[in-house]
Structure 1
Amino acid sequence: MNRAKLLICFIYSVLLTSCSSQTEKVNGASFVAYGIPVDETHTKPLVTKINANFAAVMPFGFIRGLNNPEIIHNTERQWFGETRAGAKQYSEELRKQNIKIMVKPQIWIRRGEFTGFLNMETEEDWKALEDSYSSFILEYADLAKEINAEILCIGTELENFIAKRPKYWTNLIDEIKKKYKGKLTYAANWDEYRRTPFWDKLDFIGIDAYFPVSDEQTPTFEKSMEGWKKHKPVIKSFSDKYQKPVLFTEYGYRSVDYSGKEPWKFDRSMTEVNLEAQVNTTKALYETFWNEDWFAGGFIWKWFINYEKVGGKENNQFTPQNKPVEEVIKVYYSKKD
């Protein structure tokens, strides 16, 4: 074979590899921060139980109230996994299982107030919040650079902050790009993404996909599929408009009655365990999106580090661990594009 043919073969193989890496689905899990370092016993179940190839590592910042501009982060008072050192250690251990990383810094507002309602009362406080948020997110942009994270999520469900300060966010994205050269997304709430103004500056349209799909006590697979028909075309239209793939930065359902009605609800009054509801709604989501070329994949909410001690058939929360839905996830996460 002459040199010209060898060169052509080499270029062709590179192109095939490149295309393959771009089309591989993000089969991810939201890896919950905890108070201790992790090891193989904590990370390996992601592969053996659901065949995940991505994990969202989630350091935290804390705010004392909806009108408080100070974000407290990376302190000794936080759990280890919520800090920069913890996020780095988690990422390094996940890498040993060939799991790719999305760094997804989160904010917790006292008493669990919804981050989308964050609102300052004065211009001075808005500027203080901007300075504090920049310190927070650039800390983790620097970490994402250090660990070569594949994706950085620049924020989660911060609609009012973005709506009131759009210029700040445009400038912030430019600052992040100076520091971190990987892929960027933002985690918009399911009813927020249509108003997010900066998708053109990011690599993925990120959505926390808690879309209502069924009012049934036990949503059937068929009804859940039907429920997606009003949401899917709108989601795809944003992918088409911006020529960006859609990434579900969070998705999942509780194993509880009416799980498809208001999937975002973390309501302790909803206590009746319904494993079938979780299976049916989850399977419908996969059947609706996972075969679409414009859909990049997503991160199941949520995965705790102590696998043997969490979830189970008496658990009515989001985690799929030790529940029938776990096998559904593994089946879809094992499929090749």
Structure 2
Amino acid sequence: MKHCIHLFVFIFFLQGCTSQPKKINGVSYVASGDPTTQEQVQQVKNLNANYAAVMPFAFIRDLINPTLSFNTDRQWYGERREGVQQYIEMFQKNNIGIMMKPQIWIRHGEFTGYLKMTSEEDWKTLEQSYREFILLYAELAEETNVEIFCIGTELEQFIAQRPTFWEQLILEVKQVFKGKLTYAANWDEYKRVPFWQQLDFIGVDGYFPVSNLRTPTVEDAQKGWQGWKSEMMTFSEQQKRPILFTEYGYRSVDYSGKEPWKSDRKMEGLNLEAQNNLYSAFFTEIYPEPWFAGGFIWKWFIDDAAVGGPENTMFTPQNKPVEHTIQQHFEKEAHR
């Protein structure tokens, strides 16, 4: 059964079968300084999630620095190989599937899509450093029977400037990892990614703007999805690949549907209703689509009791009204 848990997704999709396979109901599991516990994984099970994204990190000094630092003792336990493996094994004991999603963090949180070298020498250094990072975790993904491996996250300039490198990297990954592959494109990037035919899922970080209102109703947000939904359906049909939201989510803050990607702490207008309505509209409009494979909520913290709550304005749904909405939807999907 190795790597076969979602093989039927692709068979059905490519053959145009009208039967709908089960969706990937996932959470993005944020790395911690400690091993994860059964109690913490149980919170994910209680949400009725069937997948978790586990995210090792590499760090880089700035947008023009070519050298990544990764798998070091200076990182949190869950960000390096040892911790990633422990997280994976804990989830697997609970019959929860895994997407491994290596990511880059640029100092001060600068957008990875702007990462761009200024010389050929630096490009080659970056390519070698990134290759070592990705292959380290592709090998671990194979060793631990991970279902999905994501080759990168929001790296638009790196891909646009060095497409040949990415084509070769995918071939190298396929030599060591035999499961399904994706790439996490930003919501406004995915149509420009040149290598979807080499992958299994069209990965999209689904922060599409759907409403300019302070507190959109479910109906407002549903209307806001119509153009994006049509665009994704057409692209999925053209590529003959299902779309997987490698990330998606909304903050519990005013205007959270306007620019959903923003994590600006200056946005302080607590709005639990907006978050709940936006999730409800997404589940209603996008989830039933046959081209939509599911996705991973951004984001779920390991220490459930200490995060989120009714005064929290950030992305996590934990201990907020929207958590129950997600739980109900995932339960319905599990029994569909």
Q: Which amino acid aligns with 1:27?
A: N
Which residue does the alignment assign to 2:26? 28
Which residue does the alignment assign to 1:248? 245
Q: Which amino acid aligns with 1:71?
A: L
Counterparts of 2:234 and 2:82, CA distance in 1: 39
Counterparts of 2:318 and 2:72, CA distance in 1: 30
Helix, strand or coil: the match of 1:23? Answer: coil
Helix, strand or coil: the match of 2:188? Answer: coil
Deviations 1:47-81 (A, max 9, x none): 11x10000000010000010000010000110000
Which residue does the alignment assign to 2:90? 93
Deviations 1:309-328 (A, max 9, x none): 11000000000000000111
Helix, strand or coil: the match of 1:174? Answer: helix
Q: Which amino acid aligns with 1:196?
A: V
Q: Which amino acid aligns with 1:160?
A: Q
Is residue 2:181 matched to residue 1:184? yes
Q: Which amino acid aligns with 1:215?
A: N
Which residue does the alignment assign to 2:126? 129
Counterparts of 2:150 and 2:321, CA distance in 1: 30
Counterparts of 1:193 and 1:286, CA distance in 2: 21
Which residue does the alignment assign to 2:5? none
Counterparts of 1:220 and 1:280, CA distance in 2: 6
Q: Which amino acid aligns with 1:267?
A: D
Is residue 2:159 matched to residue 1:146? no
Pick aligned residue for 1:284 from 267, 281, 298: 281
Which residue does the alignment assign to 1:106? 103
Counterparts of 1:128 and 1:252, CA distance in 2: 34
Which residue does the alignment assign to 2:4? none
Is residue 2:195 matched to residue 1:198? yes
The CA deviation at 1:24 is 1.7
Pick aligned residue for 1:318 from 296, 315, 324: 315
Is residue 2:264 matched to residue 1:275? no
Q: Which residues of structure 1 form unaligned runs of 5+? A: 1-14
Helix, strand or coil: the match of 1:107? Answer: strand
Identical pairs, percent? 59
Helix, strand or coil: the match of 1:229? Answer: helix
Which residue does the alignment assign to 1:44? 42
The CA deviation at 1:95 is 1.2
Counterparts of 2:81 and 2:182, CA distance in 1: 20
Q: Which residues of structure 2 form unaligned runs of 5+? A: 1-7
Counterparts of 2:245 and 2:296, CA distance in 1: 6
Is the 2:20–2:290 Cα contact (8 Å) retained in structure 1? no
The CA deviation at 1:22 is 8.4
Counterparts of 1:199 and 1:229, CA distance in 2: 24
Is residue 2:63 matched to residue 1:69? no
Helix, strand or coil: the match of 1:286? Answer: helix
* TM-score, normalisation: structure 1: 0.93
Segments of 4+ moved more than 6 angstroms: 18-22
Which residue does the alignment assign to 1:12? none
Helix, strand or coil: the match of 1:334? Answer: helix
Counterparts of 1:165 and 1:23, CA distance in 2: 36
Which residue does the alignment assign to 1:261? 258
Counterparts of 2:77 and 2:66, CA distance in 1: 24
Which residue does the alignment assign to 2:54? 57
* TM-score, normalisation: structure 2: 0.93
Which residue does the alignment assign to 2:115? 118
Counterparts of 1:101 and 1:37, CA distance in 2: 17
Counterparts of 2:29 and 2:101, CA distance in 1: 10
Deviations 1:282-332 (A, max 9, x none): 111111111122110000000000111110000000000000001111111
Helix, strand or coil: the match of 2:317? Answer: coil
Counterparts of 2:322 and 2:255, CA distance in 1: 16
Deviations 1:177-197 (A, max 9, x none): 011000000000000001011
Which residue does the alignment assign to 2:3? none
Counterparts of 1:71 and 1:283, CA distance in 2: 39
Is residue 2:161 matched to residue 1:161? no
The CA deviation at 1:136 is 0.3
Helix, strand or coil: the match of 1:186? Answer: strand
The CA deviation at 1:243 is 0.7
Deviations 1:115-166 (A, max 9, x none): 0000100000000000000000000100100110000000000000000000
- Structure number with greater Rg is 1
